[in-house]
Structure 1
Amino acid sequence: MKAVVVSRPGGVDVLEIKDVDKPQLKDGWSLVKVKGFGINHSEIFTRQGLSPSVSFPRILGIELVGVIEETSEPDCFSVGQRVVAMMGELGRAYDGGYAEYALVPNKFLYLVDTDLEWADFASVPETYYTAFGSLKNLKLEASDKVLVRAGASGVGQAFVKLAKGQFPNLNIVASVRHLFKKDSLLASGFSDVILEKDGKLQTAETFSKILELVGPATISDSLAHLQEGGIVCSTGQLGGKWYLENFDPIEKLWNNVYLTTFASGNITQSKLQELFDFIKTYDVAVGPEKIFKLEDIQQAHAYLESSHAFGKVIVLNEEE
């Protein structure tokens, strides 16, 4: 089979298309024919050598959609069934979705009821699940005034689609570092766009709910723009900082505000199905912003790393 193999950490040039042996079925695992997968910032960090637990060579990819090719548990899975695989150290402790086939532990395979086409299906798993969990933890209401930091990111775009699907008149604002994306952000559903410069929002506005996708690098600034009783959900780490340092909760949360998070590893079959049911109920358009082929994986990573990236980027394998 063809796969993207990373033999050493580095730039996009370390993403090499190679012919490798198709994985052999083993007890407790299933072989999945990969139809498509999303590209995530965490995979860029891993490729760069910023995931200490990951050893090379490795086939990256923390998510995939596809069909069961072979299974060690025929009572649970059937050949040809559509499945989602995500998290569970996929693409980190063992080879992931950047390939034509992937061997996945059965406990990290999920059967979902959906009639989405493959491109839309591949756009959903990690990104929309992360956005959906964040939406729930923010306890979103129609009357909220919401800010999404890094609104042009994949999760930011997924969040605005989900939120406006449920609350069409929601006042939801995006912050970005580059205002040339403003028209695209407004077209995607945001009510307004705010410039962020050097980790600071260039406004005195306050919000009742904030989705924090830049992460620890800007949490303190987000809390300073939160109305009393409001919630910040810190979900992403796009700012490249992993921890809060010198953080005094009494000082930072003095205004009776709340800080929470959502981790996409917190997943069950029922929670994932709830997302797909939500997408169907509110007719959420989940299609990707950009589609690449497996052999164009270097261009896909380069695009996602660039300032021009907008929304969800996926790789779609050729249909037979």
Structure 2
Amino acid sequence: MTPDVSSTAAAEAAIPARMTGVVLTGHGGLDRLAYRDDLPVPRPGPGEVLIRVAAAGVNNTDINTRIGWYSKQVTSGTEGGALGGFQSAQDADATWSGTAMAFPRIQGADCCGRIVAVGEGVDPGRIGERVIVRNMLRTYVDYRPFQCWTFGSECDGGFAQYAKAPARETYGVVCDWSDVELASMPCAYSTAEGMLHRAKVGRGEHVLITGASGGVGSAAIQLAKRRGATVTAVAGRDKAAQLLALGADRVLPRGESIVGALGAETVDVVLDVAAGPSFGELLDVLRKGGRYAVAGAIAGPIVELDVRTLYLKDLTFFGCTFQDDAVFENLVSYIERGEIRPLVARTYPLKDIAEAQKDFLAKGTIGKLVLVIPE
């Protein structure tokens, strides 16, 4: 269909010069988040689209970046500096990529909205599409293997009324979900699917998932069950009933002995976002030839590894940040076919981002917390 040039021009003319959003002014506490209504609206460059953002999820990576947790000078779990930041963090390596961040930065790894303008080389017919953005962007690094930018870290993200993104990594989604529900997907669900993809989880395998009540963990339960796996989830005792309803076959209370509950060498794959003191037990429950996939260390990044366990059991380790193109494409297809469902615990207006992050850290809910962007 030939685009309506007049309607396209009208849509772009309606875009304001200034917008409301939250900027991160530096690494540190919640006071580093500034809610402003005078931010310049970005303009899409060649190959980019401009999105009117409707909703944006809250993720651990947003908090880790704010507090400087990725700096190798920080050796404790996220909670140690989650509200006030880490004084030991060094700006030079305080992002997940190990390089300094440019401030001010609009964070927000999750984004759902509608395309309102396109840059050179992008089909104007895409204006009006409801979209989500792949949070691990490859366009800006020329699709080099194992390299990417995080939306909201190396470039501005979804915590504002408008955001720009590469057209080829901005996916139209046709479904009956709300904007808030779609905004709960990109970061958490692609992280979980990326771990399952890298570890090649298959039907009938026993998968152990740590941090199972969080965004990534609860996503991993659904996605592992979709593959026909048996799932054991590790979470707070008060979350057990909800996780069983979500699809977990068994829930182990966090802090109790995993080996004591399951026995040694009973698990095919571990999907870990916690690390910390339980790391040794995670390897002990893996069968010979088992696979360990990790995409977080909220309980602490420094662990003790007995290398004999690694090589005598022929284990395979997967560090999971980079995602193959198929991961996000598959995620969109699962949504459109109704094979997974959203799990939104609570919503907040964007101006209440500090409250949302406090609630996120309190871990009192299962599923995603989502910010609603003002109209």
Q: TM range, normalised to the smaller chain?
A: 0.7 to 0.9
Alignment-derived partner of residue 130 in structure 2: 82
How far apart in 2 are the matches of 1:287 and 1:311? 5
Contact 2:212 2:218 (C-alpha < 8 Å) held by counterparts: yes
Q: 2:366 aligns with which of 310, 313, 317?
A: 310
1:56 aligns with 2:103: yes
**Post-superposition shift, 1:279?**
3.4
Gaps of 5+ in 1: none
Instruction: Give the length in aligned residue pairs.
Output: 311
Query: Which aligned pairs between 1:90-101 and structure 2 lie closer than 5 A?
Result: 90-101=151-162
Summarize the Cα distance change of 1:182–1:271 in structure 2 as closer, same or farther, 3 Å threshold. Answer: closer
Verify the 8 A CA contact 1:212 1:235 in the aligned structure 2.
yes
Q: Distance in 1 between matches of 2:274 and 2:156?
A: 28
Residue number in structure 2 paired with 1:184: 242
Matched to 1:45, the amino acid is: N
Task: For 2:165 and 2:196, locate their aligned partners in 1 and report how far apart those are by CA, in whole Å.
Answer: 29
In structure 2, the CA distance between the partners of 1:166 and 1:143, relative to structure 1 (3 Å rule), is closer
Aligned residues: CA RMSD = 2.6
Query: 2:174 matched to which residue of 1?
Result: 114
1:41 is matched with which residue?
60
Matches within 5 A, 1:77-226: 78-85=126-133, 86-87=135-136, 88-106=149-167, 109-115=169-175, 116-167=177-228, 170-176=229-235, 178-197=236-255, 203-205=261-263, 206-215=266-275, 218-226=278-286
CA contact (8 A) 1:133 1:262 kept: yes
> In structure 2, how many angstroms separate the alpha carbons of the residues matched to 1:14 and 1:196?
32
Asked whether the equivalents of residues 67 and 79 of structure 1 are also in contact (C-alpha less than 8 Å), the reply is yes
Distance 1:240 1:118, change over 3 A: same
Using the size of structure 1 for normalisation, the TM-score is 0.86
Does residue 257 in structure 1 map to residue 275 in structure 2? no
Paired position in structure 2 for 1:278 = 334
2:45 aligns with 27
AA of the residue aligned to 2:67: Q
In 2, Cα distance between equivalents of 1:118 and 1:68: 13
Q: CA deviation at 1:287?
A: 3.6
Residue 105 of structure 2 corresponds to residue 72 of structure 1: no
Greater CA radius of gyration, 1 or 2?
2
Corresponding letter in the other structure for 2:224: A
**Paired residue secondary structure (2:290):** strand
User: Is the contact between residue 215 and residue 235 of structure 1 (CA under 8 Å) also seen in structure 2?
Assistant: no
Higher helix proportion, which one?
2
Percent identity, aligned pairs only, is 26
Q: Please give the alpha-carbon distance, in whole angstroms, between the structure 1 residues aligned to 2:150 and 2:295.
A: 18
Unaligned ranges ≥5, structure 2 = 1-18, 71-93, 95-99, 137-148
Kept in 1: contact 2:132–2:173 (CA 8 A): no
